[in-house]
């Protein structure tokens, strides 16, 4: 085992639960309309992430990620913990069926436990020529097709909590505690794409450069995030 | 109108048949040109005067607002143009110089040359995604073969794709490697067109190897160099896929990093077309950026043609 943890530095779902658990967030909760990156708890969370990489040397740095992605390192047994959604289990099972692993929810920080719920929306056009077939497909991917075929969690709670999903061959033991119960936590957020400005905010015209500076250890989190909300809020208010 | 009689001379039956046949052969090509080039070009010019997010039922006419914003207000245009110019300077220069060098080396009659020629051409057929993924790994800071090769000489290797000073150079290295086979092939064809008599005459006049290259090979290859310069510059202006594959993921979710150092004009066009929701974003502004790029390419090409008159030797009686 070479590395401790991988947190998807480039993906909002990678760091947002950590920010939420610390009491911060990238954008205001729950409306997601104003920047919250300069909140002291957001800064503290980002500093924690930076320290995991560059002070404690437990988390994978961008340089290490460049050599081989964290998700592959986990499947290879080079990484102890990998943050991720349920669909990662199918990928890992496929890459290394013999890997003995389990899933767990993220630990709590001062604000409590937090997680991110990815929501997948399915739709078909009212003018579709095959509405019945389309509805049948949507039903299927939301229920028994969700887990084995899509790597997702069934949309219907009773089905997600049933043995059809939880006891499916290849699923880790603690699916319920890791992926289903966190959906009820007050701090759990989702979906991540909270606005049509999302791509711009996360990119170089938003807070992307500040996140880069933190992940590459170019400056402390407080310095990197100073003034970033003015830029983000300007985008949101345009 | 006939000068002699002042009357219309009507085509004969044979001429009419010939014209009909000519137009029949031309029609498919003309139709293709009109449908796939003419109409999209005209439509894209129209869209530069509109705003449309492709969700609204139809575009809204806004006159020259896209052009005003692009030329006088958008603070990112200068930066993305500068990034593009950096790539042009590094990528195009390295492509031309290395293509010529490799062609000169492989033009000699030596055993096994065809194997090397094939090896150099192989990357040319690679997809851009394969190119980017391979080079991303080759340049990785920890165990990348190129990083290690640099460090063999006791030099600290740069953090190629994570250092804004080096990222565009790294992309230029990758694209040069891919295009080298093409440039080499064109140069080899040019070299084969140079008559041995010219070299023999130069030898008789006492020219050494450098002189023969400087006064025979290089001038005789100038049309080839000119062709490659023009086409590679046009391609360099359109850089997109290598940037996306080599700078996505890892440290920034948006390609074009680190520190926005590799965001090119085409990548910015993509941002404005598909990702951003600013007041000007959408098809109209993206079309305006595309037209600015087309105009830039046109101007640069015209300048190259003009400058080409000074140094391109076509081998005619007057040397042109």
Residue A192 has pLDDT above 80, yes or no: no
Residues in B closer than 8 angstroms to A203, CB to CB, are 252-254, 256, 271, 275
pLDDT in tens, A113-150: 999 887 788 888 888 899 999 999 999 988 888 877 78
Q: Is the peptide bond before B258 cis (omega within 30 degrees of 0)?
A: yes
Q: How far is Cα A22 from Cα A29, in angstroms, rounded to an integer? A: 13
A169 touches chain B (CB under 8 A): no
Q: Which of residues 30-69 of A touch B (CB under 8 A)?
A: 62-67, 69
pLDDT in tens, B52-65: 988 889 999 999 99
Q: Which pLDDT belongs to residue B2? A: 45
**Structure confidence at residue B8 as a pLDDT band (50, 70, 90):** confident
Nearest to A212 among B249, B252, B271 (CB): B252
Question: Which two three-digit tokens encode residue A52?
Answer: 């995991």
d(CA B170, CA B163): 10
* Cβ neighbour number for residue A41 with a 10 Å cutoff: 18
Q: What single-letter DSSP state applies at residue B35?
A: I
Instruction: Give CA–CA dist B53/B64, Å, rounded.
Output: 17
Contact call for A62 and B251, based on CB within 8 A: yes
A237 inside 8 A of chain B by CB: no
Of A102, A68, A84, A75, give the one whose Cα is nearest residue A8. A84
The CA distance from A65 to A70, in Å, is: 6
For residue A177, what is the DSSP state? I
Q: In the predicted model, what is the mean pLDDT of chain A?
A: 89
Residue pair A140/A213 in contact by the 8 Å Cβ criterion: no
The position carrying tokens 């680190």 is B258
If one counts every other C-beta atom within 10 angstroms of the C-beta of residue A167, the result is: 10
A218 neighbourhood in chain B, CB within 8 Å: none
User: Are A186 and A112 spatial neighbours (Cβ–Cβ below 8 Å)?
Assistant: yes
Which of B276, B257, B174, B183 has the alpha carbon at shortest distance from B227? B183
Q: How confident is the model at residue A47 (pLDDT cuts 50, 70, 90)?
A: very high
Cα dihedral: B250, B255, B260, B266 (round 10): 170
Q: Where are the domains of chain A?
A: 3-119+187-237
List pLDDT tens digits, range A90-110: 888 888 999 999 999 989 999
Give CA–CA dist B247/B257, Å, rounded: 6
Does the model's pTM come out above 0.95? no
Domains, chain B, ordered by start: 19-65 (no CATH), 71-311 (1.10.3720.10)
Contact between B80 and B265 under an 8 Å Cβ cutoff? The reply is yes
What pLDDT, on the 0 to 100 scale, is given for residue A120? 80
- Enumerate the residues of chain A whose CB falls inside 8 A of the CB of residue B285: none
Q: A122: which 2 tokens?
A: 């399915």
Domain at A3-119+187-237, CATH class = alpha beta
Q: Do B253 and A208 touch (CB under 8 A)?
A: yes
Pairing of strands B50-51, B60-61: antiparallel
Q: Does B277 touch chain A (CB under 8 A)?
A: yes
CA distance B276 to A235: 10
ipTM score of complex: 0.84
Q: Mention every residue, 6+ apart, whose C-beta is less than 8 A from residue B46.
A: none
Per-residue pLDDT tens over the stretch B127-182: 989 999 899 999 998 889 999 999 999 999 999 999 999 999 999 999 999 999 99
Concatenated DSSP letters of B171-229 = HHHHHHHHHHHHHHHHHHHHHHTS-HHHHHHHHHTT--HHHHIIIIIHHHTHHHHHHHH
């Amino acid at each position: 085992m070479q590395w401790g943890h991988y947190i998807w530095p480039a993906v909002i779902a990678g760091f947002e639960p950590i920010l939420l658990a610390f009491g911060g967030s990238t954008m205001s909760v729950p409306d997601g309309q104003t920047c919250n990156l300069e909140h002291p708890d957001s800064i503290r969370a980002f500093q924690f992430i930076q320290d995991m990489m560059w002070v404690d040397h437990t988390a994978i740095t961008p340089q290490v990620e460049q050599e081989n992605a964290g998700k592959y390192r986990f499947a290879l047994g080079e990484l102890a913990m990998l943050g991720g959604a349920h669909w990662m289990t199918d990928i890992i099972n496929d890459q290394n069926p013999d890997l003995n692993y389990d899933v767990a929810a993220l630990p709590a920080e001062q604000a409590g436990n937090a997680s991110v719920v990815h929501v997948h929306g399915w739709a078909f056009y009212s003018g579709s020529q095959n509405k019945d077939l389309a509805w049948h497909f949507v039903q299927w991917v939301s229920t028994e097709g969700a887990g084995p075929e899509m790597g997702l969690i069934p949309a219907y709670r009773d089905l997600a909590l049933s043995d059809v999903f939880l006891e499916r061959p290849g699923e880790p033991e603690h699916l319920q505690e890791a992926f289903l119960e966190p959906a009820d936590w007050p701090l759990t957020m989702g979906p991540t794409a909270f606005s049509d400005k999302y791509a711009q905010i996360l990119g170089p015209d938003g807070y992307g450069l500040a996140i880069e500076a933190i992940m590459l250890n170019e400056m402390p989190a407080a310095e990197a995030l100073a003034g970033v909300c003015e830029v983000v809020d300007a985008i949101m208010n345009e | 109108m006939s000068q002699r009689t002042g009357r219309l001379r009507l085509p004969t039956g044979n001429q009419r048949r010939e014209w009909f046949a000519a137009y029949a052969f031309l029609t498919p090509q003309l139709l293709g040109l009109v449908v796939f080039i003419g109409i999209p070009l005209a439509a894209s010019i129209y869209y530069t005067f509109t705003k449309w997010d492709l969700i609204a039922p139809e575009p809204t006419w806004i006159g020259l607002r896209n052009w005003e914003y692009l030329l006088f207000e958008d603070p990112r245009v200068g930066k993305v143009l500068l990034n593009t110019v950096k790539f042009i300077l590094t990528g195009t220069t390295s492509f031309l110089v290395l293509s010529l060098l490799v062609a000169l080396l492989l033009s000699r009659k030596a055993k096994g040359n065809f194997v090397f020629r094939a090896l150099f051409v192989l990357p040319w057929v690679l997809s851009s995604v394969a190119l980017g993924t391979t080079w991303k790994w080759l340049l990785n800071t920890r165990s990348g073969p190129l990083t290690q090769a640099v460090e063999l000489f006791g030099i600290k290797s740069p953090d190629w794709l994570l250092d804004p000073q080096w990222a565009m150079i790294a992309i230029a290295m990758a694209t040069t490697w891919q295009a080298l086979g093409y440039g080499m092939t064109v140069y080899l064809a040019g070299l084969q067109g140079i008559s041995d008599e010219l070299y023999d005459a130069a030898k008789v006049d006492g020219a050494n190897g450098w002189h023969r290259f400087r006064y025979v090979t290089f001038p005789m290859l100038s049309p080839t160099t000119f062709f490659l310069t023009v086409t590679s510059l046009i391609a360099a202006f359109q850089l997109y896929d290598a940037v996306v594959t080599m700078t996505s993921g890892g440290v920034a979710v948006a390609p074009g990093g680190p520190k926005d150092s590799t965001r090119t004009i085409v990548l910015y066009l993509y941002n404005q077309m598909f990702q951003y929701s600013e007041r000007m974003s959408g098809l109209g502004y993206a079309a305006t950026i595309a037209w600015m790029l087309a105009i830039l390419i046109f101007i640069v090409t015209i300048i190259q043609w003009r400058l080409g008159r000074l140094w391109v030797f076509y081998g005619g009686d007057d040397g042109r």
